[in-house]
Amino acid sequence: MTTISTSAIDTLRSRLTTAIIYTPGTDGYEESLVRWSDTGRKRAGVVVQPIDPRDIQAALLWAREEDIDIAVKGGGHSTAGTSSSDGGLVIDLSRMNKVTVDCTNNTITAQGGATWKEVDNGGALHNLVTVGGTVNHTGVGGLTLGAGYGWLSGQLGLTIDNLLSVSVVLADGSLVKASATEHPELFWGLRGAGYNFGVAVEFTYQAYERANPVYAGLMAFPPHQLEEVIQLLNGLLAEPDSRAGAMCFFAQAPDGSGPMVIVICFYDGTKEEGQAQFAGFLALEPVLNTVDMIPYATVNTLQNPSATYGDRKAFKGIFFEPPLDPKFVRSIFDDFMAKLKSEPDLKASAIILEFIDMRKICEVPLSATAFASRNSTQNGLLALRWTDASKDLEHRAWAREAQAKWKAELDAQVKGHETGEYVPQYINYAEPGDSVVPNIYGENLARLQRVKSQYDPTNVFNKMHPISVAPSN
């Protein structure tokens, strides 16, 4: 780890106004390094926690002068450490978490360090919602800049499809507002590849009136009902309802009683409508059923008990073309549970499959935003969690092998792959350097390279799937 000189720190301190600075050995430094996953933790040379964009500008320019690595932390959920720096500068936005609501124009504005909890709760006070994260302590910045799926995506599209503007500090230190009318090319790039262009300090989203509760909760099923559950989930997509969605988890029961198949159900309607939509699941007589009418803001807390801070974590994106083959899923389930049994330290791990009506998302042309994955392919995660750091390489290697099985299954399903083409996948579920997702930008890459050349020609922002600068003519 490189060491930043005392004189350089003094220079930085002299240029800041209201920001808090942490350096190794100072009170609060160790706490400032904490991330959602212990695998994302690195020992920064200096941490700056601003409350004003001017301090972000000052810190960024200072780091460039000193040739110091730069990382930006919003919610800190990256398991690969992209919100951390080994010896460099971390611009930690956690103190910039203010959310404001405009009831006249039905918009919600969140600072770059806010989480979806602040957005959900702020909107709920005015009976307003927007498309946000399904784990509410996720940061708004990371999810939004990578596109953002949520429980309302079937009706309203992606988070970026409801994004009206972004205020961002660029690599040259300037603060600009990007929207459809201001810096439109930057706004295009921020929606799907936004990690590449600057420090996003404020987002404004279109919001929608939602005064009534929604039908949502968990159902749990024993392993022998796996195939029936998968067939029912396939049915949700075969006859889609934009108001419905589901997530399926393969995991150990919280009480340690054994493997379980857990489904989070969501329906934006009445209890009667929700029960009709999920009648097949109810007919299986789940061993646990918490589904009821609840506030929308509560839906995004349902995963929180299993998505707590701490331990070591690795995410591997898994993508599938519906309908899922129940025989394939059974083999995955059995292999996964055998792995958890042989490695008790992995007991809190899970495989998560999302079932979302993609029609609204696919209505938006690929060229409208930088996000290149507007298709029927569904998203999932292999989410490993353990405590023994000596097992990092071993567990990640196993995760890559498991991920490869899903890729092989998708390759066999997706038409056109025989020509050598690859369907771009969701950037937020692709770890940096992940060879299973070779091209997340698809046909938008060339345009993104031009935007990168204009707004970050020296590749200052390079932590998360960096875009190479377009070659000069």
Model pTM? 0.95
Residue 416 has pLDDT above 50, yes or no: no
- Which is higher by pLDDT, 422 or 414? 414
Share of residues in the chain with pLDDT > 90 (%): 88
- pLDDT tens-place string over residues 17-58: 999 999 999 999 999 999 999 999 999 999 999 999 999 999
The CATH number of the structural domain formed by 6-92 is 3.30.43.10
Question: Which two tokens mark 122?
Answer: 């702020």
| Average of per-residue pLDDT across 319-326 | 95
132-141, 214-223, 415-424: segment of lowest average pLDDT: 415-424
At 257, is the secondary structure helix, strand, or coil? coil
Would you state the pLDDT for residue 434? 53
Would you state the pLDDT for residue 427? 80
Cβ distance 375 to 415 under 8 Å? no
Residue 464 has pLDDT above 60, yes or no: yes
Residue 176 has pLDDT above 80, yes or no: yes
| Average of per-residue pLDDT across 253-265 | 91
Residue 472 has pLDDT above 90, yes or no: no
Torsion angle of C-alpha atoms 147, 149, 153, 154, degrees rounded to 10: 120
pLDDT mean across residues, the chain: 94
| Average of per-residue pLDDT across 417-443 | 66
- pLDDT tens-place string over residues 148-158: 999 999 999 99
Residues of the chain with CATH 3.30.465.10: 99-209
Q: Calculate the alpha carbon distances from 414 to 209, 403, 422 in Å.
A: 38, 16, 9
Would you state the pLDDT for residue 433? 59
At 78, is the secondary structure helix, strand, or coil? coil
CB atoms within 10 A of CB 361: 21
Q: Which amino acid is at 11?
A: T
Q: In 89-238, which ranges are E strands?
A: 89-92, 99-102, 107-111, 128-129, 163-169, 175-179, 199-206, 208-209, 214-221
At 410, is the secondary structure helix, strand, or coil? helix
Measured in whole angstroms, the distance separating CA 204 from the mean position of its chain's CA atoms is 18
Band of pLDDT at residue 171, cut at 50, 70 and 90? very high
At 409, is the secondary structure helix, strand, or coil? helix
Would you state the pLDDT for residue 422? 59
Cβ distance 216 to 267 under 8 Å? yes
- pLDDT tens-place string over residues 308-318: 999 999 999 99
CB atoms within 10 A of CB 208: 16
Residues of the chain with CATH 3.40.462.20: 214-429
Would you state the pLDDT for residue 417? 46
Band of pLDDT at residue 397, cut at 50, 70 and 90? very high
CB atoms within 10 A of CB 290: 14
- pLDDT tens-place string over residues 122-142: 999 999 999 999 999 999 999
How far is it, in rounded angstroms, from Cα 118 to Cα 124?
10
CA angle 311, 28, 304 (to 5 degrees): 35
Residues of the chain with CATH 3.30.43.10: 6-92
Cβ distance 425 to 437 under 8 Å? yes
From 3.30.465.10, 3.30.460.90, 1.10.1040.10, 3.40.47.10, which CATH number describes the 99-209 domain? 3.30.465.10
From 3.10.20.440, 2.40.110.10, 3.40.640.10, 3.40.462.20, which CATH number describes the 214-429 domain? 3.40.462.20
Cβ distance 95 to 50 under 8 Å? yes
Closest CA to 380 of 248, 269, 185, 281: 248
165-169, 177-181, 423-427, 469-473: segment of lowest average pLDDT: 469-473
| Average of per-residue pLDDT across 339-355 | 97
Burial-class residue 408 by CB neighbours within 10 Å (0-12, 13-18, 19+). exposed
Peptide bond into 323 cis (omega under 30): yes
- HSE-CB for 279 with a 13 A CA cutoff: 4
| Average of per-residue pLDDT across 273-277 | 98
- Which is higher by pLDDT, 193 or 468? 193
